[in-house]
Amino acid sequence: MKVRREKLVLSLLCVAFLQGWMVHSVEYDHTASIECLGDPMKPLYNGGVIQNGEFNSGLMGWSTHRNSKTGVRSSPSGNKFAVVHGAGGTLSSSGNVLPSHSVYQRVRMQRDTHYSLSAWLQVPAGSADVKAVVKAPHGERIIAGSVVAQSGCWSMLKGGMTAYSSGHGEIYFESDAPVEIWVDSVSLQPFSFDEWEAHARRSANATRRSTIRLVAKGAHDDKPMVNATVIIELLRAGFPFGNTMTKEILNLPAYEKWFTSRFTWNQNQEDYRIPDAMLQLANKYGIRVRGHNVFWDDQNSQIRWVRPMNTDQLKAAMQKRLKSVVSRYAGKVIHWDVVNENLHFNFFEGKFGPTASAQIYNQVGQIDHSAILFMNEFNTLEQPGDPNPVPSKYVAKMAQIRSYPGNGGLKLGVGLESHFSTPNFPYMRSALDTLAKLKLPMWLTEVDVIKGPNQVKFLEQVLREGYGHPSVNGMIMWAAWHANGCYVMCLTDNNFKNLPVGNVVDKLIAEWKTHSKAATTDENGIVELNLPHGEYNFTVTHPSVKGAIIHTMTVDAASSASEHTITVRV
């Protein structure tokens, strides 16, 4: 669990290029279900290494834990699915209630392989949290994903895990509730590390870059300018990539130089004199700012004098805070994290009822009409074993906020904190796939990786995974420098010399901005350029022209749809 003080945040940016190859099909899945379906869809990847994943051949390939009665049922439409009868409420020899288990299948797993997992689940009554469990070849029990299964319809669980040794593993589904778990359309698809990483690179190249055609023509005769020189200057990268910064930047020129030469987004502590000065510094360098946070739902993180307030006193204090901080920075920040971590905590819901978060979003939106209002949460990507912030519950909370009267027009966003230890990349990608169904701006808002022998490698992989996912709109590092030590991860030492993780960030910033610096038009006056998205100056010179023509243009996903003409005056 994170421990940090309430803060107003400022945030910074960069951009990227990745190019890869494919061994076999790895695609971002857009079937990740938010709704419940009457019948499940076909298993992804035709089931992968799972045998009889649709149970059309009865229980062939499947077994049960304990001496439970197992069967295959059919829906009215003829769809077949597996049921373990009386699985819930079984007692162990010590008298403890055991989890409810589904059928399981043993599979042969390969070392250094990512496995994407999916299944469709249902319970006969009510709803229950159901987890996917994989017993890895080396014996570790891995939670590979979780979903709220419901009665009357099928919900898709999507997740995954990584095998670091070869041998037999097991896959099954369990719940702490005493329920029967109905299972259908199970899939477990392996991908080598090379395949996985190549797909992220290919996706990044397709998502973050575009090929454009510039045509240089004479102003008077409209004829193509042959052999004109085009100089390409990237003014501002199109993909937001930033870092948190602290008040120390205000009086440390070395910190200011290090920070502002890399990032274009940032975050900091609440004291209006300090944020005002930091905002002024950000504006000086063209750094865009996001606000973190208006309120925090954690009971233990409330200011000491807030906790004993009665309802009326707290409401008055909240109104003062809202009008103060949101009004002060309205139009100056592009995002607000509105009620921080409201899936794990419920301080305001406990005081004002289950719609407290939705009401706060409503009020923030009334004051600041321009900023995107984010729901910021941890462990949605990082920990599939944490039941509170799983993607299906994130989606449900966002739906509650959206459906509150007056909130239909709010500009909402998905904030994913991304505090990693050992990343589970198949789960991370599956969670992003599921949340992408919300069709809202989605950011990794507080990226860090704990210290350890694989910190550098894991950080690069996390950033590449986020950058490569087509539904991720930006990333912010949680690596602010403090004189007394960083939260989890420092990018520099106290002399602002890069640490190894800082070198990774610099490498990616440079890679993601890679582009041709100059080109020459052909016989038709055309130059074709593959460029990372962003704002550019194109400077055109020709022997027949005095001086240079500068053309400013934003390159984005729509830029390749037509030719872009630069008129050259003699």
Identified catalytic residue from 341, 377, 382, 417: 341
The position carrying tokens 């599921």 is 434
Q: Which of 380, 476, 423, 419 is nearest to 193 (CA)?
A: 423
Cβ atoms of residues 263 and 257 within 8 Å: no
Cβ atoms of residues 556 and 532 within 8 Å: no
Contact partners, residue 228, CB within 8 Å, separation at least 6: 216, 520, 521, 525, 540, 541, 542, 568
How far apart, in whole angstroms, are the C-alpha atoms of residue 454 and residue 233? 36
Contact partners, residue 122, CB within 8 Å, separation at least 6: 81, 149, 150, 151, 152, 153, 154, 155, 182, 184
Instruction: For residue 54, indicate whether it is catalytic.
Output: no
The position carrying tokens 């009334």 is 366
Return the C-alpha torsion angle 241, 247, 253, 258, nearest 10: -20
Q: Which residues of 215-247 are buried (b: 16+ CB within 10 A; e: fewer)?
A: bbbbeeeeebbeebbbebebeebbbbbbbbbbb
Greatest alpha-carbon span in the chain? 93
How far apart, in whole angstroms, are the C-alpha atoms of residue 118 and residue 138? 22
DSSP H helical ranges for 438-527? 455-468, 500-512
How far apart, in whole angstroms, are the C-alpha atoms of residue 225 and residue 217? 5
How far apart, in whole angstroms, are the C-alpha atoms of residue 498 and residue 511? 17
Contact partners, residue 206, CB within 8 Å, separation at least 6: 470
**Helix 455-468 crosses helix 193-208 at what angle (to 10 degrees)?**
50
Instruction: For residue 341, indicate whether it is catalytic.
Output: yes
Cβ atoms of residues 127 and 154 within 8 Å: no
Contact partners, residue 514, CB within 8 Å, separation at least 6: 17, 532
Q: Give the type of residue at 171.
A: I
CA of 364: how far to CAs of 242, 273, 297, 356, in Å? 24, 22, 15, 13
Q: Which of 75, 90, 182, 70 is nearest to 128 (CA)?
A: 182
Q: Is 249 helix (H, G, I), strand (E, B) or coil?
A: helix
DSSP letters, 51-79, are SSTT-TTTTTT-EESSS-EEEEEE-TT--
Q: Which of 112, 113, 169 is nearest to 139 (CA)?
A: 169
Identified catalytic residue from 180, 195, 446, 465: 446
How far apart, in whole angstroms, are the C-alpha atoms of residue 232 and residue 192? 38
Catalytic residues: 341, 446
